[in-house]
Structure 1
Amino acid sequence: MRKLVAALTVAGLLGGTATVAEAKPSGKAALQEQLDALVGQFPAALASVSRGGRTESLVAGSARLGSRVPVPVDGRVRAGSNTKTFTAVVVLQLVAEGKVALDAPIERYLPGLVPGGSAITVRQLLQHTSGLPNYTEYLGLEDVAKLRHRYFEPHELLAVAFAHPAKFAPGTKWEYSNTNYVLAGLLVQRVTGRPVAEEITSRVIRKAGLRNTYWPAAGDEGIRGPHPQGYARSGGEVVDVTELDPSWGWAAGQLISTPGDLARFSRALLDGRLLPAAQLAEMRKTVDAPLAPGWRYGLGLFRVPLSCGGEFWGHGGDIHGFETRGGATDDGRAVGLAVTALPGTFGDGDQGAQAVLSAVDAAFCR
């Protein structure tokens, strides 16, 4: 769930593959080569690629560091900041229902909570143009061993953020801040009177038919079902962080999913199955996101250029143990990719992050 800084300086193990549906051998081989190349930088890589109504899932590496354990096909991983897109969809559904106004100040819905909230709109929260400080910069997440079992309430996260001054005047620039989406989650709860986890589950996960995506309940530190182990560096050592408390991510990064479900979610979103046309159009109104050339950000959604022309729409997520990337195109392609460590855990961070982005690009363009 990092800001993708390393990834976007532009974010002896067993290799294997399993196929849900056959694709052209040359394309499949090319993608498998990309996944195999990720092993070394990461213990394992998992991918799901859909086009023309056919889906194929591939894996590489080992599910457990130091052992030869097959990677579960389309295994579950921590989805990190992909959660933001789910949260944004719920907010936009509430806009469609007339319960939230995109250009109203957040003060209207969360009175007295946000410093300068009368000048910060709901749209600016979803688009990362609010100027609010990012609480994850001050939480001490670099010491994963210290915080991995720590439970956080959303208001604790906001207290960390609001102890620091705003980065810029609302609407004057773009800067990624997880604080925006904690507030978006609280907005959902205030308007609906229900937990954001419940709203995301009923309004998005079930509606999109995602069978392997869920919001971990309070105190749930494991990953249910088949999954690879996730690893992080702490105190100069690499540790298994598969079990951790994701509450510090909350509406900005708490979900667990699979590459296949993340691709299906992106496909359902672009196909108009989750939002009315007017709200999907608002979601796709972008501003420059200076993380990499050509990247732009809508409302919980990146627009990313492809080397073969065109672009895909998606998000991505970085959380201790896992990095996920992918999205969908308007012409029917969808990709989900996951690796089982953050870039830099086992090698050069910039190289690892770029390798993941290159693999996603290759999956779309092959």
Structure 2
Amino acid sequence: MMPYYLALGMEGSANKLGVGIIRQPLGNLCENNRAEILSNVRNTYNAPPGQGFLPRDTARHHRNWILRLVQTALEEAHVNVSDLDCLCFTQGPGMGAPLQSVVVAARTLSQLWNIPLVGVNHCIGHIEMGREITGALNPVVLYVSGGNTQIIAYSRQRYRIFGETLDIAIGNCLDRFARTLHIPNDPSPGYNIEQLAKKGKHLVELPYTVKGMDISMSGILEYVDSLAHDLFSGKKSKNLYDEEDGKRITVEDLCFSLQENLFSMLVEITERAMAHVNSNQVLIVGGVGCNERLQEMMDTMAADRNGSIFATDERFCIDNGIMIAHAGLLGYRVGYRNDLQDTVCRQKFRTDEVFVKWRD
């Protein structure tokens, strides 16, 4: 028997298509046996500036690239197909057509290679990858991405949702604002907003909507969008001038203000969750988790509580195949398998639906 387990993971819930191969040593999952990343390749579908990525176009991109990425991942990992213990795929949540494109490839390869399938909850993949990379023990998790915004804590073999967005996700909010400003989608709208925000000097007052442990962002987006339209049209609105020095607000100021406002809301509900579960650790996962300003604000809050934050770089924050391989292999080792009829994708697959059998 080989002294390790090997899994190949495929992620394609949105516009990022990723394939990764991971190796986990044999032994008790509770022991400090770190996994080894053998390959982690990705290809992104980017729509033109001012446009979002449509499901049909994204699915076409995934169909065109999935087998090429699988081949590249195997070559980079120096792994033979016969060495793989399981094939892992994102079962949800996400966009229906892109999810379906990847699961069809996973089903086909499973039958060709006679390798078991393991479906993975996308959110669980982010969390388990974050825990593996950072070594965080039992943190409050802030999950922020294009399609999800949740405050999560582990209890009794479930990742419990303490708070979340009531409407749109923070990544979606940033993406839609980038569309209004015609900010390029390459490498990502959120990253480009972050760079513009670093040049902002004036903090524009925006709606601040926290409701208990939940937040709402649709009203903030509508308001800041209206300011952007006024700015581009040359409208003489008093909201476009700083009250202190009377200077006109810039695009950079709007990006800066939107970030500060949204991130402050996230910090507030995260701190409340930390107090509730008596934790002094925060793990930030998801694509928006790459944002340095968000990490800085969260670190300031955690330091005030004598705590610390954990975060990863773009290799693991942004959707990737290795997180699906890792979480899928954890499930595989405790007996999870998916028959072909059980591989139906679910656009709404809640984080707290998953029984986390591999944790005490």
Q: What TM-score, normalized to structure 2?
A: 0.25
Higher helix share: 2
User: Which is richer in strand?
Assistant: 2
